[in-house]
Amino acid sequence: MQYIGTMKFESVVRPEHQDFSLLDSLVARFSYHSREEWEKLIVQEKLKINGKVAGLESTVKKGDQILYLVENYTEPEVPTHFEVIHEDDDFMLVDKPAGVPIHRTGRIFFNTFTSILRRHFDNEELSPMHRLDRDTGGLILFAKNKDISARFQKHLDKILLKKIYIAVVHGRFPDHIHRVDMALQEKSDSEIRLKMHASPSGKASTTLFRLQKIIEKPFGLLEPPFSVLEAELITGRKHQIRAHLSELGYPIVADRLYAHQGVYYKKMLNTPLTASDLAVLGSKHQMLHAYKVQLYLPHFKEAKYFESHAFHHEMKSILSL
C-alpha cells in the first residue's frame, strides 16, 4: 500500500537550538530538504510555531512546537498486512511482514508498522517492546498502553525470554560453530556509518547458531551451497545476527548492507534497485525471519513458545529446496 495525501509533521525544538532562526533549526535537524527548499516552504506559510504561521524572521525556543503541513505527500509502497499471534489485556504479539519499518525513517512516516497497528486498532498507545529491521519479517511484541510499556521495558528479559531467527546464508556453515562472542560497533571512518563491525572496543555481543540444513541446489542466479540456520540472540545489538554472519564469511542471502560489500545498499540510497540487481541478490528482502519467541507474560503460569512461518515468498521458496 502506498500513502498519498496531506501529512502533518510535528516536532519539538531541542535545547541546543534555543534562539536559532526557524530556518537554521530546520536545516540542522531535517536533511530531507535543502536550505533553499525549507526557505521556500516558510515563505509559502507551510510551517507554524506553537500554532501560529511562521515567517523567515521567526526564531525558536526550547520546547516550541513546530508543525509542518505537506500536501500531496507520498511515501514508498510498503506491505501493510499482519497477523496477531497472541493477545491479552496488556500485550499483543504480532507477525510483521518484511519490508515495513517499525519506526519512522527518512522516507516513511505514515506507514510505519507501529502506525499501521495504531490506526487498525484505534490505539495510539501501542508501543513496540523491541526492534526488528525493516527488511526482517516475523514476531514482535507490542505493549497495549504506555504504563505497561514503561513498566516492562527496562526488564524486558523477564517477559521476552528468547528470540530465535531463521537465516539463509551463502556458503556451507561449519556445524561446529554454536556460539559467537564478537563485540560490535560502528566505525566513524566507514563509508556506511550505520554498518556494524567486529571490534575489541565494541559492545559485547553473543549469538547462538544451530545449523538446520545445507541446500545444494541453485536458487535463481545464485549458486549453492546455502545454509539454513537458527540464530538465537543472547544480546540484542543493532544488526547483530547480520553482522556476526558477515564477519564469519557467511552473509545472509539478499542482505543489501552486509553482502556484496554493501554495493546494493549504497546504490539503493540514490536509485531504486533494478530487476537485475534483485536477481543478483536473490530476493527483494533479506532472508532473515524472527520465527520463534519464548514469552513469560504476567498472566502466564509458565513460559510459552510462539512461532511464525510467514516467510516472504523467496525465502519460502529456498527453504523448500
- Reported as a single tens digit per residue, the pLDDT across 114-159 is 999 999 999 999 999 999 999 999 999 999 999 999 999 999 999 9
CATH number of the CATH domain containing 278:
3.30.2350.10
173 lies in the same domain as 56: no
pTM: predicted TM-score of the whole model, two decimal places? 0.82
* DSSP string for 179-202: EEE--EEE-TT-SSTT-EEE-TTS
54 lies in the same domain as 97: no
Residue pair 123/90 in contact by the 8 Å Cβ criterion: no
For residue 38, name the pLDDT band (cuts at 50, 70, 90). Answer: very high
Cβ neighbour number for residue 319 with a 10 Å cutoff: 18
pLDDT digits (tens, 9 = 90+) for 191-247: 888 899 999 999 999 999 999 999 999 999 999 999 999 999 999 999 999 999 999
DSSP 273: P
**Cα–Cα distance for residue pair 130/150, rounded to 1 Å:** 13
97 lies in the same domain as 36: no
What angle separates helix 22-29 from helix 35-43, to the nearest 10 degrees?
140
Chain length of the chain: 321
Residue pair 278/207 in contact by the 8 Å Cβ criterion: no
From 55, 74, 93, give the residue that closes a domain: 74
From 14, 42, 74, give the residue that closes a domain: 74
The residue-averaged pLDDT of 282-304 equals 97
Range of the structural domain that residue 19 is part of: 4-74
Residue identified by cell 498519498 is 4
128 lies in the same domain as 97: yes
Asked whether residue 37 carries a pLDDT value surpassing 70, the answer given is yes
167 lies in the same domain as 264: yes
CATH number of the CATH domain containing 46:
3.10.290.10
Count up the domains in the chain and report the number: 2
From 44, 74, 104, give the residue that closes a domain: 74
